[in-house]
Structure 1
């Protein structure tokens, strides 16, 4: 199974980059790595049908160019090893690949990302890791919605959570999270493939949802139903310009904004019941 990598250069990057990602995800693109000046995207070679239906590429107000190359399956590890660097979140947490040396930190997380989103490099994941480090997870029940690599669920367990459900609609992310929880010796994480329709007859002390604005606004009422009365809802995957819409939707179901982190126009916010 070979993949195609497309390297898009975009001017201006936003909001065109977000629109491009949304359109490409409808065409079967599986992974996106945002970078300065553009985005790297990946799709199975057999699934690529061209860009005729991608409207943002025809927008005269946006300049988008791209190059592409094929990545054969056996070379995929070498490709991400070339780009994947370890990251530190504060003084306590390190997210690294298996080939990086272990350092003396309280929370050492080993992630092999493959094609999954959520290594900690993107601002949204990094800020969500900050939230997990700053809040009490001892004996909590936790949902990691849109888990990607499972990095948030893994840190939640290391922080003392007793029951964690990790859900992602992407089969690659489902398999990758399974591998990463085993790699990190986790014992309290269950992984499910699917979407918010799985969230019936469940309740959580903490909900972590790092997805995108449209899915968040759609699913916030569901998160409110499954959140315990004194629970916390952590949201990310949206821009500063989206804060008002996110907060209004939360308020409509009784959830009050309490705080947020912001980095490069991305936001990770915290909400709880009034």
Structure 2
């Protein structure tokens, strides 16, 4: 599925409702973003080349048959990444780093392996801060951010996600990394005020971040909120939405067209 870059976040939100296990994103150049969803014969509709609407955006849809060696070839897209001089995020088939903190994420379980711009930006902002108390990961996905926080010395660490598969993946990945993360289901759209902690991690799309800002927090607002999942032109709007909770922007990072914010509540 190919869509104009300006509509990419809307289409991705729609796709994740249909494919909670995640989608593959590719930057094909220009003003276009490509998303791929994989499935066995019979799992996906056998569509000709069509144009469809997703959340009001026009999407070009093409169905192709993947070669029989896909089970080996897909691994080349999941490579280890180093986050500063502290973290090393890798899939299970890659060896550990000699000196960096090792974080193993199975990309076959749920959305979020650490490679996407938004996740990397969150990890960078997290790794630069000294651990200081409890953490809540809103929309934990595969658990990469929560597990990284636990590895870095934060605690206790918890995460919530609307998708049961993500809750399971977070728990399994935490166990594989020998850290404790309390993962549970929570609907950020309909569940009311969001769970909170001194540090809240929120790698979410703009509509969900604005929903959290409107609903507020179930308790004291966080001392620090690291928010990502934002296209760069959306960052100012999201920062302003959290201002009524006493959270002020102290840092902003950008990678490609994506941004992440560090919002802190004055002591």
Common topology (TM > 0.5): yes
Instruction: Kindly state the Cα deviation for residue 99 of structure 1 after the two structures are TM-superposed.
Output: 1.2
Which residue is equivalent to 1:99? 93
Instruction: Kindly state the Cα deviation for residue 260 of structure 1 after the two structures are TM-superposed.
Output: 1.0
Gaps of 5+ in 1: 1-7
1:144 is the counterpart of 2:140: no
* Worse overlay, 189-198 or 104-113: 189-198
TM-score (norm 1): 0.81
Instruction: Kindly state the Cα deviation for residue 239 of structure 1 after the two structures are TM-superposed.
Output: 0.9
TM-score (norm 2): 0.83
Which residue is equivalent to 2:199? 206
Match of 1:19 among 2, 5, 10: 10
Give the 5 Å matches for 1:121-160: 121-138=115-132, 140-160=133-153
Q: Aligned pairs, how many?
A: 258
Which residue is equivalent to 1:33? 24
Per the alignment, in what secondary structure is the counterpart of residue 204 of structure 1? coil
Which residue is equivalent to 1:256? 248
Residues 227 and 199 (structure 1 numbering): CA distance in 2 closer, same or farther, change over 3 Å? farther
What is the root-mean-square deviation in Å for CA atoms of aligned residues? 3.1
Per the alignment, in what secondary structure is the counterpart of residue 104 of structure 1? coil
Instruction: Kindly state the Cα deviation for residue 206 of structure 1 after the two structures are TM-superposed.
Output: 0.3
Instruction: Kindly state the Cα deviation for residue 250 of structure 1 after the two structures are TM-superposed.
Output: 1.1
**What do residues 106-144 of structure 1 show as CA deviations (whole Å, max 9, x unaligned)?**
311011121412111100000000011011224x11001
Residues 16 and 109 (structure 1 numbering): CA distance in 2 closer, same or farther, change over 3 Å? same
Residues 34 and 201 (structure 1 numbering): CA distance in 2 closer, same or farther, change over 3 Å? closer
Which residue is equivalent to 2:31? none
Q: Structure 1: how far apart are the matches of 2:244 and 2:45?
A: 41
Instruction: Kindly state the Cα deviation for residue 79 of structure 1 after the two structures are TM-superposed.
Output: 5.8
1:236 is the counterpart of 2:228: yes
Instruction: Kindly state the Cα deviation for residue 259 of structure 1 after the two structures are TM-superposed.
Output: 1.1
Match of 1:90 among 70, 84, 87: 84
Which residue is equivalent to 2:60? 64
Q: Structure 2: how far apart are the matches of 1:215 and 1:86?
A: 28
Which residue is equivalent to 2:112? 118
Per the alignment, in what secondary structure is the counterpart of residue 270 of structure 1? strand
**What do residues 173-207 of structure 1 show as CA deviations (whole Å, max 9, x unaligned)?**
112111110110013x1011222366779541100
Q: Structure 1: how far apart are the matches of 2:231 and 2:17?
A: 21
Larger strand share, 1 or 2 = 1
